[in-house]
Amino acid sequence: MKFNRLAQYWQKIDKTSSRLEMTAILARLFKESSGEEIDQIVYLSLGRLRPKYEGVEFSLAEKMMVRVIARAYNRPVDAVTKSFKQKGDLGELIDSATVSQLHGVTVSQVYDRLMVIAVDSGQGSQERKVNQMAGLLKDLDGLSAKYLVRIPINNLRLGFSEMTVLDGLSWMNAGDKSLRPVLEKAFNVCADIGLVAKEFKNKGIQRIRKIRPQVGVPIRPAKSERLPSAEKIVEKLVRFAVEGKWDGLRVQIHLDRAFAKAPAGKATLFEEKPQPLVRIFSRNLDNMTAMFPEIIAAVSKLLIESVILDGEAVGFDPKTGKLLPFQETVQRKRKHGVEGKAKELPLKVFVYDLLFLNGKSLIDQPFNQRRKLLERTLPRTQRGAGLELAQQEIVTEAKRLRELRQKYVRLGLEGVMCKKLDTAYQAGARNFNWVKFKKVTQGELADTIDAVVMGYYAGRGKRTGFGLGAFLVGVPDVKTGQVGSIAKIGTGLSDEQWKELKVRCAKFEVRGKPEEYRVDKNLYPDVWLKPQIVTEIMADEITKSPIHAFALALRFPRLIRFRDDKKVEEATSKTELEKLFKLQGSFAP
C-alpha cells in the first residue's frame, strides 16, 4: 500500500466522531492491506512503531520536529516556531504547495525508515534523526507529511485504541463485531496488537483461537469489581480466598532460562541482557525491568525454567521492614540513579498469582490450582529476598471478612481482595472473580476515582504564585472514546501538590479543547490539556448533575495522588462511575 493511501484513510477517520464509522473505515483499510504490512499499518495508526511493551521511542521532542520541518522545506526555524505557537499542531505547518507531489512511497518503506530513526542512538544521534526525518518528509506528499510529523511526538491521536482495532478486524471478515470476543481474548494474553492483526489476516480466526501466553510478552492484567458490603461479597462468592490489597506498583514478572538457546531471531524483540531472560512489566504494559535490580536478582534464583508471576511491588524501610506508602514506592520508577535508589528504597514483591510455569500456560486453570503451584514455586527458603508469597485465608462469613479487612488496614494496606477459587485468570477483564473490599471512612465513597486532568483555571490570591487555582477532571466513555467532566477541584491540595500539578500540566498544554472532551461551556478551563495525567480522587459521594457531561458529578472531591502507573484507558470509566453511583447507598463501612 502507498503511504499516501494510508494517509487518506487517516484523514477520513480524523473527520468523523462516530465510533461506528471509524470501525467501518478501519475495516476497509485492513481489507485493503496486505498480510505483510497490516501489522505496520496497525502500529502506525496507533501512533507507534512496535508494541508499547517494547519501548521503541523516537526521542524527538516538538522543538526537534520544528527543526525537521524547517530543514525539510528550507524555512527559517523562527518562522516555523512562530507558526507552531499560533496553530498548536505540527501537521498544520505543512504547506502542500511547497512539498513533493509524488505518491510512490510505500507504507513499508516509510515504516522501515522510521525504525532506523527511532533506534539510532549515541553521539550525534539527535542531529542524524533530524536529518533523516527531514529527508523522509521531502519524499512525501502534503497529506502524508501532515500526519507523519505527528507520530514522533505522540500526537497522531485519531481517536481510537486497540479495542477499536479489534472491532475493525472483526468487521473486515464478518461484517460485524461477532469475532471481537475471540480477538480480544487473544490480545489479552498476547498484548501485541500488530501480531494479532497479522495472524488474523494471514491465518484466520482459527489461528487466533490458538494464541497462548509466551514469556517476554505481557499478559493484560486481570481487574477487580466492587460490591457494597461484606454480606454482598459472601452472597456473591460464597467461599473465597482473601488476600491483602497492597498500595504499590502492579508488576508482572517473566523469567525464561531457555532464552539463550532460542533462535537468534527471538532475541531481536528485546534489548540484550545477561541470561536468563527476565522482564518486569507494569500495569499498563511498560517495560520496567531496568528499574528493579533486586526483583531481577530474586526471580533469577528460582529453581524453575520459565514463569510468569503477578504481584504488587511495595517499598519498605530497610531498617524496620515497615511497608511504605505509594508516594514513596513510586519514586522507584526512574531511568537514572537506579542502583542508588534501590539501596535507599528497596522493594519487595507480594506475589499472588502464577500464570505460566515451565513452558505451560496456567491461565485456564482455576485459581486454587494456580495457588497450589505458586506455593511450590516460591518455597519458603526462597521467599523474603525480593519475593514474598501473599498470605491467604479462605473465608465464608462476612464477620471474618470484615476482621481481615481491619487487620490489613492496620498494617497499612488499602483493604483486601476477595477471589473466587474455581475460576480461570481473566486477562484484561473486570468482573466478579476478584472483588476489592477497601477501607471506608464515614462520608467517603467506598472507592477512589481515577480521573483524567482535562485542564486548569488561573489562580487568584495566594495561588497566583502556583500558576493555577483549580483543575477540571473527567472520566472516559469506553464506548465512544469521549472524556466527560465530573468535577472541578480547587481545594484539598498542599502547596507542594499545587506546584507539582503545574509542572505536570505544562508538559501537556494545548491551544484548544481536544475533540474527545465533553465539557459544558460554563466549565471551560483557562488552559486545556492533552488527556495524559491520571489522578486519584476521593469524594464524599457521586451526585446527579445538570452541568457535567455524563449527568454525574463528585461531591467534595479532593486529590489523593497522581497515578503515574496508570494510563488514560485505565482511568475509572463512565460505566464504572454509574455503577458506583448505584451502589453507594448500599456500601457498609
In-domain check, residue 165:
no
pLDDT attached to residue 273: 47
Report the DSSP pairing between strands 558-562 and 509-510.
Answer: unpaired
In a domain, 426, yes or no: yes
* 422 and 454 fall within a common domain: no
Selection from 73, 153, 77 nearest residue 114 by Cα:
153
Q: What is the pLDDT of residues 524-577, one digit of tens each?
A: 999 999 999 999 999 988 999 999 999 999 988 999 889 988 888 889 999 999
* Pairing status of strand 347-357 against strand 387-389: parallel
- Asked if 393 and 481 sit in the same domain, the reply is no
Residue 516, domain CATH: 2.40.50.140
- Residue 64 located in a structural domain: no
Q: What is the 3-state secondary structure (H, E, C) of 476-531?
A: ECCCCCCEEEEEEECCCCCHHHHHHHHHHHHCCEECCCCCCEECCHHHCCCEEECC
Q: How many domains does the chain have?
A: 2
**Quick one: 291 and 431 in the same domain?**
yes
SS3 473: strand
Torsion, Cα 552 454 533 125, to 10 degrees, reads 150
C-alpha distance from residue 36 to each of 7, 107, 199 (Å): 18, 11, 10
- Which of 88-102, 177-191, 434-448 is predicted most confidently? 177-191
Same domain, 307 and 412: yes
Distances (CA, A) of 34 to 25, 37, 200, 206, 419: 16, 6, 12, 19, 44
Contact predicate 186/211, CB 8 Å: yes
pLDDT, tens digit, 9 for 90 and up, residues 467-509: 888 999 999 998 888 999 999 998 878 888 898 999 999 888 8
pLDDT of residue 385: 55
340, pLDDT greater than 60: yes
Mark whether 315 and 359 lie in a shared domain.
Answer: yes
Query: Same domain for 395 and 534?
Result: no
Listed residues 388, 415, 438: the one ending a domain: 438
Task: Identify whether residues 404 and 517 lie together within a single domain.
Answer: no
If you ran DSSP here, which 8-state letter would residue 340 be given?
H
- Is the pLDDT at 465 greater than 80, yes or no? no
Q: What is the pLDDT of residues 119-168, one digit of tens each?
A: 999 999 999 999 999 999 999 999 999 999 999 988 888 888 899 999 99
CB atoms within 10 A of CB 230: 22
Provide the pLDDT confidence category of residue 440 given band limits of 50, 70 and 90.
low
Least confident span in 139-148, 259-268, 277-286, 576-585: 259-268
365 in any annotated domain: yes
**DSSP-derived secondary structure for 229-275:** SHHHHHHHHSSEEEEEE--SEEEEEEEEGGGGGS-GGGGGGS---SS
Q: Give the model's pLDDT for residue 540.
A: 87
Catalytic residue among 146, 201, 245, 530: 245
* Domain C-terminal end among 438, 457, 478: 438
Assess if residue 533 is contained within a domain. yes
How far apart CA 95 and CA 75 sit, in angstroms, is 11
The larger pLDDT score, comparing residue 343 to residue 245, is at 245
pLDDT, the chain, mean: 89
Tell me which residue range forms the domain holding 459.
449-586
* pLDDT confidence band for 274 (50 / 70 / 90): low
pLDDT tens for 76-133 read 999 999 988 888 888 888 876 566 666 789 999 999 999 999 999 999 999 999 999 9
**Any idea of the CA torsion for 184, 115, 277, 391, to the nearest 10 degrees?**
-40
Same-domain pairing of 560 and 430: no
The C-alpha atoms of residue 9 and residue 259 are separated, in whole angstroms, by 40
In a domain, 499, yes or no: yes
Say whether both 264 and 312 belong to one domain. yes
Virtual torsion, Cα 25, 28, 31, 36, nearest 10 deg:
-50
Q: Where among 405, 438, 471 does a domain terminate?
A: 438
Active site (annotated) includes residue 335: no
In a 10 Å sphere around its CB, with 0-12 CB exposed, 13-18 middle and 19+ buried, how is residue 121 labelled? exposed
- For residues 394 and 505, state if they share a domain: no
Is residue 373 situated within a structural domain?
yes
Same domain, 421 and 482: no
Assigned domain for 489 exists = yes
* Buried/exposed 475-496: b ≥16 CB within 10 Å, e otherwise: bbbeeebbbbbbbbbbeebeee
Q: Based on the fold, state whether residues 515 and 400 are members of the same structural domain.
A: no
Q: What is the dihedral of CA 144, 146, 150, 151, to 10 degrees?
A: 0
| Vertex 566 angle, CA 562 and 569, to 5° | 125
- Domain of residue 281, CATH code: 3.30.470.30
User: Tell me, what's the pLDDT at 494?
Assistant: 85
pLDDT tier at 391, thresholds 50, 70, 90: very high
pLDDT (average), residues 18-45 = 96
